[in-house]
Structure 1
Amino acid sequence: MLDAIVNYLAGWNVLALVLLVIGLGLVTVEMFLPGFGICGISGVGCLIACIVVSANSITHAFITLVLIIAIVVLLGYIVFKNFGRVKSPIVLKDRIDSASTELSNDDIKSLEGKCGVAETALRPVGKATIDGKQYDVVTSGEFVNAAQRIEVVSVKGLRILVRKVDDES
């Protein structure tokens, strides 16, 4: 098979081979660039020009097209097999499990009914200390001054709903 390809390419002129190499190079570069830009369009143009320059007949052009498509697919496979797992600074591909987060639902679910102190003014969101730990909390709309006692009403997900505790009770 390789001998047939070499014999087939031996009949090409230098311009067709140069266009083939440049076209394949530009298409390979385009694989690393987002979108379909100048390199991709130029590469495809060079490959089409290669087919036109080297073709003596429709059959010859079709064989050239199949050969070029096979080379591009093989090149793409090799490139993505070796360089496809490049770390992207934009996309986070690692999964975060609940054990690695600072808070889990089990930790804060036990806070229901407990009392604490508002560290900042809650209007309606702020910080409060409950059982010696600081949490982000939210009220149901009421304003709570800093240093005022609060009680945890409910916990839904990581949202801790609190209410102001009256000083009389």
Structure 2
Amino acid sequence: MFLINFVYAKAEETGSLESIFSKDYVFSILLIAAIVTAVFEVLTPGFGIFGIISIASFSAFFWGAIKMGNTNIFEISLFVIGLLLLGFEIMIPGFGVAGVSGIIAVSAGLVLSMRDIYFALFSLALALVIALVLGYGLVKRGIKSEAINRLRLFKESSSDKGYVSVKAAEVSPGDVLITKTPLKPTGYAILGDRKIEVVSNTGFIGKDESVVVVKISGARVYVENI
């Protein structure tokens, strides 16, 4: 919340918020803060302070852009649509068209909302570099995120916990499994005394439900409700 307090403190010094948002660097600071904290929020479990700061920073960014006449419903719509696409991407396995389209839409909405396009592109690139570097540091320190697990279709498993690879489990299409965890759409199912990572072909499937293996692609086991 430091950035929000900073903006209001500066506004008191200069007499108005409009005078603060007339400075391009203010938008740059808000943009960097919003993106970096958004990445931190994704990489950490639950919803916490990083999410609050990110929402506050994005809100201040667009409020200032509207006040200065830099943006309208088109840019805001691009940003919102991009967020929805990214949210949809997190809920489905892999990283595909929705994720790429979401990133492009969010980036376009942010860049077009700043007065100087070149400075906006520089600010966005700087924000992404900082976010990637800090995010990489978090991942290297062992931070785990359910959202990232869904994007990567990966969850660390070990034999001492009963988790086995697809090859070791020797599953095949037609095998019937019982879900150990909810499939959203990834999760775990039981085959005998073994737990196997599976992907639902039919969206959400609850825990302790019977599913059938319909396809195996590489290390991915796709299942459907019976």
| TM-score of the alignment, normalized to the shorter chain, above 0.5 | no
Larger radius of gyration: 1
Looking at secondary structure, tell me which structure has more strand per residue. Answer: 1
Give the structure-1-normalised TM-score: 0.37
> Which structure carries more relative contact order (alpha carbon 8 Å, separation 6+)?
2
Which structure carries more helix by proportion?
A: 2
